[in-house]
């Protein structure tokens, strides 16, 4: 049955940046469809609120408070998941931040650049490194990196954020590289590339973003759910190293 192809029932999933925004929507997509969730985030209040809502819908949820720049904490969290659940089926590296403020490169401060690269790129590296060791040992797995449409095109014309653009472009190519490393090991690795979505924190003033999007509106967090299920399930078993763009038509320009 077609529903079986997209099923994640009983699969174990580790998600970073899962407390709010697109991360919460991804967690909902998996939890509503029977996955066992381990949610990792540094915002304890939002993390517990998300877990409570998902548990209220019948999902099995474990929360882990931590930062994706903390290699030891990530490694331990994923090891704890495998010890408790027996395997890691799905890993989503969603945690990410943007530049502190839009600016040209010569105005970017060292600390701002370093923080964006640490979270958006090093955080993906650290999460994937911890997850892939277990996936290789078990002989299967799905890794979904979360990049951006701005990992495939420069945002400077509308939203100049050089650190964000650099980090997300790197995530796209790291995804391709990892996919080739693990293509013969039963592991598929693909990137989700969202456009501009209306979440709790962004964009605060959506006027320019709406005008920039051909559909004339911003993405709704629930609209990331279908793509998440596709990449997390057997529906994408012969797909690896790809970028799945969900942007309301921006990159079709």
**CA-wise closest residue to 151 among 250, 218, 220, 237:** 250
Q: Cα separation of 126 and 122, whole Å?
A: 6
Q: pLDDT at residue 72 above 80?
A: yes
CB within 8 Å of 130: residues ≥ 6 apart: 71, 74, 75, 77, 78, 79
Task: Note the pLDDT of residue 142.
Answer: 98
**Catalytic residue set:** 164
Q: pLDDT at residue 159 above 90?
A: no
Region 192-207: what's the mean pLDDT?
87
**Which range of residues forms the domain containing residue 96?**
2-252
**Counted domains in the chain:** 1
At 58, the pLDDT band (50, 70, 90 cuts) reads very high
Q: What one-character DSSP code corresponds to residue 213?
A: S
Task: Note the pLDDT of residue 202.
Answer: 74
pTM of the model: 0.96
pLDDT digits (tens, 9 = 90+) for 46-56: 999 999 999 99
The CATH number assigned to the domain holding 17 equals 3.40.50.720
């Amino acid at each position: 049955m077609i529903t079986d192809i997209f099923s994640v029932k009983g699969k174990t999933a580790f998600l970073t940046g899962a407390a709010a925004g697109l991360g919460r929507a991804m967690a909902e997509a998996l939890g509503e469809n029977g996955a066992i969730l381990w949610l990792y985030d540094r915002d304890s209040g939002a993390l517990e609120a998300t877990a409570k809502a998902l548990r209220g819908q019948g999902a099995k949820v474990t929360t882990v408070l931590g930062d994706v720049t903390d290699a030891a904490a990530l490694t331990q969290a994923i090891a704890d998941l495998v010890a408790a659940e027996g395997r890691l089926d799905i890993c989503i590296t969603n945690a990410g931040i943007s530049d502190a403020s839009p600016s040209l490169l010569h105005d970017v401060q060292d600390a701002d650049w370093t923080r964006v690269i640490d979270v958006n790129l090093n955080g993906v590296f650290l999460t994937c490194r911890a997850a892939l060791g277990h996936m290789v040992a078990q002989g299967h797995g799905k890794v979904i990196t979360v990049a951006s449409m701005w990992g495939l095109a420069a945002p400077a014309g509308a939203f100049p954020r050089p650190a964000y653009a650099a980090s997300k472009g790197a995530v796209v190519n790291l995804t391709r590289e990892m996919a080739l490393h693990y293509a013969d090991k039963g592991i598929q690795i693909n990137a989700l590339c969202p456009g501009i979505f209306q979440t709790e924190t962004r964009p605060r003033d959506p006027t320019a973003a709406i005008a920039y999007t051909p559909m004339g509106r911003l993405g709704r967090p629930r609209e990331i759910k279908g793509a998440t299920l596709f990449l997390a399930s057997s529906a994408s078993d012969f797909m690896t190293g790809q970028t799945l763009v969900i942007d309301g038509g921006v990159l079709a320009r």
